[in-house]
Structure 1
Amino acid sequence: MNTPRALITSLLVGPVLAFAQAAPLTVCMAEDNPPFSMARKGQVTGFDVKLAEALARELGRELKLVPFEPEVEKEAMLTHEVNAMLSAGLCDLASGFPLLASDLGPPTRERFKTPDHPGAKPPRDRQWITLGTLVPSQPYQGTALVIVQRAGSPVAASLGDLKGRKVAAVAGTLEGTLVAMYGGGALAKDMVSLGQREDMWAALESGRVDALMVPSAAFDTHRARRPGTTLQAGPARPLGINLGWVALSSKAELLEAVNRVVARGASSGDLQVWAREAGLSWQAPSLPAVSGSLSLAGLLRD
């Protein structure tokens, strides 16, 4: 007796479908970007991990995290590295991506190598990966700058409040540029230049400088590493750049799931809870969701 075609199909296709549904959700995260993501001793923790876990539950899939180390050379660009990871099939999604229009859409380079990641070959032996088109999710976190001072100092809400005080300007950073340019050099007389390898927190705590401007997430990280610190931050100043997730255009359905999780987390307060658990000061995303550029003139206004 012939076996019905439908039965044969179910026997052959059923296990394949079950395997496809069981395929893990792979997410790339920077390995040293606390409090968003940090890899230590084989474990990845941080705010982005909380969101990834919620996304895996939403999709009913096992979660696999792939930490990577962005290159430090000037010619290397995060957008190309993330694109290479996605285009090589190493992950389905990448978290913590600055939503700038210039870094999204079709790539500006045809090929790029992946950054360091578990199992990667030495850089010279890695293949050049043909890059795809990057598509963003809705933002889940805004970015901001804060002015940090020692306890007991008058709280500074803007750079204008720091006139007459020793203000740190870390070379090669956005914050250092803002300090140097503010008011046409109004802070230059008391400005203290620091190299990127200098310990700016030690400079502040020792009194070498009276204040410094940093991303709010950087101060969150310092507080996590030094729980007893008495340093204090003034009001957050939004940068107008949001963080989101990215995927290749062929994975648009995953970004729709990210958007559902983010929207639900924002309305329920889960995003704020996850941020607090990760030691992050949550910043509401700003409009527009994807920024065209960073306005120094806007940041220099009090």
Structure 2
Amino acid sequence: MKDRFAAVALLTMLAAPATAAWTSAWAADPLGICLDEDRPPLSAHHKGKPDSGFDVLLAQAIADRMGRPLKIQWFESKLDEDSSPQLEANALLSDGRCSLIGGYALTTDSLVKPGVQTARLPDFAGATRDDRRRRVALGMLAPTRPYVYSPMTVVLGSKARERRIAEIGDLAGLRLAIESGSLGDAILMTFDKGKLIDNITHLVPGRDDLLGALNRGDYDATLIDLARYDAHRAAHPDTAITASGYYYPIGANRGYVGLGSDPALIEAVNKALADLVTEGKIAELGKQAGLTYLPPREPAILGDVWTKIIQR
């Protein structure tokens, strides 16, 4: 009997270093997070400048909580009508470029099973010519809990900065500019059965400078993501445009998405986020990054946004 206990003890002793080594290796494994390189004040990565943004700070805080080094994979998301953020995110994750995508808008449409089996990768740091050509077999996305609320806000030009905006109807009579195919476009075009259509000018995403035109006085108002206004204000402290203080009632939370095949990671990130919320750290990081931080709202995952807009 003593020999048996001695053998078990010996096996346990021999296994202990291997177990410790495995745990150490897991902790040393970088936490890969993909971030958009040009979405200030959420995330920004430009040659000759330090990486910056709320999602950069939060990613580091999450990695620190998990006891893992952080590795950011930067990618470029094109602002055009043909791009699909859902498929781009899925392709990056499914190709192993990262384990999480940060700043992801949590809507039912963005989390459904892909309608295609493969997709191309977006441009990303370190991409080769072959990377730009090949297609990636897609998986299923799984969200974490949200960490910030991202609403649409009305921004006013210099000639209309005194206009009080309490609802979309208060934009009547103003010269409105909006980017074609955007969420703001759908909201303004369908409001009250097209009441604002005659006053709307459509601009081309990625080609026309929407906020620059507003600043010059070419138009009186637009409807954009609040973070985009924050970025403009930070880059142009003397801007003539101003936030109205009005938030469109249908907005989306942002969080992380990973692959459904790694539920342990999603659980670990949720715990880290919960701890950071309890300590008030996330709001502090938002302020540090120059973001107008708003905490997540219910529902955590926004439903059919297009139907909600049309029915309003």
**TM-score, scaled to structure 2:** 0.84
Distance 2:23 2:264 in 1: 18
Other-structure match for 1:26: 32
Give % identity. 32
The more displaced of 31-40 and 178-187 is: 178-187
Distance 1:191 1:102 in 2: 27
Distance 1:195 1:87 in 2: 31
Query: What SS does the corresponding residue of 2:178 show, helix, strand or coil?
Result: strand
- How far apart are 1:118 and its partner, in Å? 2.0
Query: What SS does the corresponding residue of 2:151 show, helix, strand or coil?
Result: strand
Mapping 1:273-284, distance limit 5 Å: 273-284=284-295
Distance 1:71 1:153, change over 3 A: closer
Question: Is the counterpart of residue 159 in structure 1 residue 159 in structure 2?
Answer: no
Mapped contact 1:37–1:46 kept (Cα < 8 A): yes
Aligned residue identity for 1:39 = H
Mapped contact 1:178–1:296 kept (Cα < 8 A): no
- How far apart are 1:241 and its partner, in Å? 2.0
Aligned residue identity for 1:65 = I
Distance 2:222 2:54 in 1: 25
Other-structure match for 2:177: 168
Aligned residue identity for 1:110 = Q
Structure 1: runs of 5 or more not aligned: none
Mapping 1:262-301, distance limit 5 Å: 262-295=273-306, 297-298=308-309, 301=312
Question: Is the counterpart of residue 249 in structure 1 residue 260 in structure 2?
Answer: yes
Mapped contact 1:27–1:66 kept (Cα < 8 A): yes
The more displaced of 157-166 and 259-268 is: 259-268
Distance 2:309 2:80 in 1: 29
Other-structure match for 2:57: 50
Distance 1:104 1:296, change over 3 A: closer
Mapping 1:72-111, distance limit 5 Å: 76-104=83-111, 106-111=113-118
Describe the superposition over 1:238-280 as per-residue Cα deviations: whole angstroms up to 9, x where unpaired. Answer: 4332211011123222222222232233333322211111111
Aligned-pair Cα RMSD in Å: 2.6
Distance 1:181 1:126, change over 3 A: closer
Query: What SS does the corresponding residue of 1:250 show, helix, strand or coil?
Result: coil
**TM-score, scaled to structure 1:** 0.87
Question: Is the counterpart of residue 211 in structure 1 residue 221 in structure 2?
Answer: yes
Query: How many residues are paired up?
Result: 299
Distance 1:11 1:284 in 2: 44
- How far apart are 1:19 and its partner, in Å? 2.2
Distance 2:113 2:201 in 1: 42
The more displaced of 100-109 and 275-284 is: 100-109
Mapped contact 1:142–1:238 kept (Cα < 8 A): no
Distance 2:122 2:219 in 1: 36
The more displaced of 126-135 and 94-103 is: 126-135
Query: What SS does the corresponding residue of 1:40 show, helix, strand or coil?
Result: coil
Other-structure match for 1:129: 136
Query: What SS does the corresponding residue of 2:293 show, helix, strand or coil?
Result: coil
Query: What SS does the corresponding residue of 1:155 show, helix, strand or coil?
Result: coil
Describe the superposition over 1:12-67 as per-residue Cα deviations: whole angstroms up to 9, x where unpaired. Answer: 55444422321111111111112111111274321111211111111111111111
Query: What SS does the corresponding residue of 2:250 show, helix, strand or coil?
Result: strand
